[in-house]
A and B are shown apart, each in its own frame.
Chain A
């Protein structure tokens, strides 16, 4: 037996030297390798790549489970009292619960369609005020009880109860009553006819009355754990285990009969808050799916034979928001000049590594409302300079900053400090505007603070992003009536834009409003209330061999029940 090395042991100097050497070697090997250029350990070139891919697929061919990473944990199983986070979107819509109908991501040619889920179809009355939904008689809760019209009615009552404060209750406000005609027929009565009736009717999952009605609605918010002890589900999976802040294990629901059973027997969600930890887990094989890796890592991940990079265009627009109440942003000509002065392609190439594209519209470029005839304003410093001169913004005192009426063109440019990519963009924009004699001062602030300041119009300019709802309604963002209480944080006001937005809302059929949507985009392009920086691309990395993923703008997990591992080649 060897004696332990003590302070007097001559081996100590060697141990010290070894420790030092190990530290330095690790730092050199790993650090100097560079995070952005280090390929996956299994990366291969040329012909060997095909063999490595085949080997990777073969290695997973026998699996019937998948491991997904999320940065935040779920808060409980009752979807009415949990936050609207991405993990709850997965659990509520695609794993544990089923809606009456399922919105599809087929909005490329027209408004989206709805496919049967708990309901086998739908029909409106002649006056358009009543929607009838026949329920699937085979629909069962995970404990074997049938899913009935009473569940649908009781769920609506819960959704509308003030003590529950369901965040999406707004969607149900124009529903007068939900009637259980018989166990398998539901009739929804509306107070008025409007384009989004179907969307509002099917918003939110249906809950199990027989299991959960014992607890009064008034006590739901204070008793989230009560539901966790009564796990009853209607989706393709059930909750097998939940270890808070660690993992959520889902198992195939044997009672699920709405369509083919889930192909995977088990889905494990690992909660990994840090992006570096997520990447390490992906590259070491601990997880199979990772959403939104850092753009700088995507090329290296794509080069790995064990991984596959998928992407889609989300319903989101990223922009510089100009507060039109400030004198330097009040003039549309100046706002256009600012857009022309910012080299957006440089942002896409330098910061997003090409994983984004220029756009001329807030709408997704693959949606039916997108105006194909528009082209983005180009990067044109000379035109921007001339426009600013013409608007009276000149450097009259030779201090390097343009001014007008004694006021320098100097403003604060905000974003949320936890997003390093956005912080980098601010610096780039600052440098580009400085060439024109505009002093943009970047500042990162805490996310909630940023949101509150935007709602209060307490900012000069900010870099932010917003999602677009299924209705493709931009009135919240650009309508004068939404300066207070909506997302028109820049206080943009244009009678022409308001008129077009009203026409879009008044259209009896959403598809009929396409010309108005086109016109709206032209008006916004001209007025530039915001500078659209790029159309984002959302990246999902999956382990090679995992098939059927097909992420779309509604969710990466839209087809979760169809996910499976490919057979060995």
Chain B
């Protein structure tokens, strides 16, 4: 295992994250208004109380002092209190993370369950009816914004058919584990399917293009020449070769997955990290915005790194690179 390489990647990722977070801090600082401006629209709210709240959270301090204060809380792992609820930003995200993990995991599963076989079909039947049909579908999915797909799905499956609910499942204290799992799956089905379908176009096209290349390679042609069946050629020889770039692609498209999660969580009232980040951005809740940025940034970096390592394991040629 190239530990030095791994440590170098992690160190550079940490520096990159700090730069991103500092830029986010500065951007929110220079934007006019603050989280407490709107409170003054209530005629009963006193300016003194609002000034005291600003002082409590250090918003009356100059940029450098605020930045240093934030840096200390961030390095101590606390991330500071939310301006809105007063709770530690880290706790808010920790509670939301399992929901995002469930949604992102299920969506990724749907994405590959749709994208892989359809992409393979399009490659195997290149320039035939099936290929054209698959490419039309992928174009449709590319062109359709995920929020629009979400609205369609909700209208059809929740309102018209009444099959699937919106929002996260309710787990009363005395609910059996089996029922909890069943409820979780039923509630995650619609948002995960929506996000997975929206993202599957990318996998579909990636698989198709990758396989088209691989299918022309010598070892695949040799396998065909040896008289192996088309199915066996595909599954034993072509797909494993194309799998490496696909795994790498899974890491690279993590940012797209996270931005998709944000939209889907808001529309489906799914209480994940995206929802928390969305609310925090609207309310200018800087500590929570920064913590969410750090969390998603770290996950993207780690995901990309993991994908690189996995790619290396699958495809030995990349290890020397």
Query: Which of A's residues lie within 8 Å of B, judged by CB?
Result: 5-8, 12-13, 16-17, 19-20, 23, 26-27, 29-31, 41, 72, 75-76, 81-84, 162-163, 165-171, 173, 203, 221-225, 241, 243-247, 270-274, 276-277, 280-281, 283-286, 418, 446-453, 455, 466-469, 473, 476, 485, 487
Which residue from chain A places its CB closest to the CB of B281 in the assembled complex? A446
At the interface, yes or no: B73 with Cβ under 8 Å from chain A?
Answer: no
Partner of A165, one of B56, B123, B168, B271: B56
CA distance A418 to B47 in the complex (A): 25
Let me know if A203 and B166 touch, CB within 8 A: no
Pair B121/A487 contact, Cβ less than 8 Å: no
Count of inter-chain pairs, beta carbons less than 8 A: 206
Q: Is the Cβ of B35 less than 8 Å from the Cβ of A224?
A: no
Binding stretch for chain A, among B64-72, B80-88, B308-316: B80-88
* B117, CB-defined interface residue at 8 Å: yes
Answer whether A449 and B166 are a contact pair too, CB < 8 Å, given A246-B271, A277-B267.
no
| Residue contact B166 to A286, C-beta cutoff 8 Å | yes
Name the contact of A221 in the complex, choosing from B41, B56, B231 (C-beta under 8 A).
B56
B140 to chain A, nearest CB (A): 6
Contact (Cβ within 8 A) A448 B35: yes
A31 and B153 CA atoms in complex are apart in Å by: 11
In the complex formed, the residue of A with least CB distance to B155 is A30
> Which partner residue on chain B sits nearest A25 by CB separation?
B156
A74 → chain B, closest Cβ, in Å? 9
Distance of A458 Cα from B275 Cα, bound (Å): 33
In whole angstroms, how far apart are the Cα atoms of A115 and B47 in the complex? Answer: 30
Bound complex: CA A8 to CA B232 (Å): 10
> How far is the CB of A217 from the nearest CB of chain B, in Å?
13
B234 sits at the interface (CB 8 A): yes
- In the complex, the answer to whether A19 meets B160 with C-beta atoms within 8 Å is no
A469 to B158: give the CA distance in the assembly, Å. 41
Are B117 and A5 interface neighbours, CB within 8 A? yes
- Do A244 and B271 have beta carbons less than 8 Å apart? yes
Indicate if the CB atoms of A243 and B96 lie closer than 8 Å: no
Q: Which residues of B sit under 8 angstroms from A5, Cβ to Cβ?
A: 117
Are A6 and B231 in contact, CB atoms less than 8 angstroms apart?
Answer: yes
Distance in angstroms between the alpha carbons of A31 and B160 in the assembled complex: 13
Q: With A7-B117, A449-B31 in contact, do A20 and B133 touch (Cβ < 8 Å)?
A: yes
Q: Is B129 an interface residue (CB 8 A)?
A: yes
Q: Once the chains are docked, how many angstroms separate the CA of A449 from the CA of B121?
A: 52
Q: Are A23 and B137 in contact (CB under 8 A)?
A: yes
Docked Cα-Cα span, A467 to B38, in Å, equals 13
Q: Is the CB of A12 within 8 A of B121?
A: yes
Residue B228 at the A interface, CB < 8 A?
no
8 contacts between A and B (CB under 8 A): A81-B86, A167-B50, A246-B170, A270-B269, A273-B278, A281-B167, A448-B284, A487-B43
Interface contact B42-A451, CB-CB below 8 Å = no
* B199 lies within 8 A of chain A by Cβ: no
Neighbour of B31 across the interface among A241, A245, A446, A450, CB < 8 A:
A446
| CB contact between A84 and one of B45, B168, B279 (< 8 Å): that residue | B45
A26-B152, A286-B166 are contacts. A273–B85 as well, Cβ < 8 Å? no
Complex Cα distance, B86 from A81, in Å, reads 9
A276-B267 contact in complex given A7-B117, A447-B38, C-beta closer than 8 Å:
yes
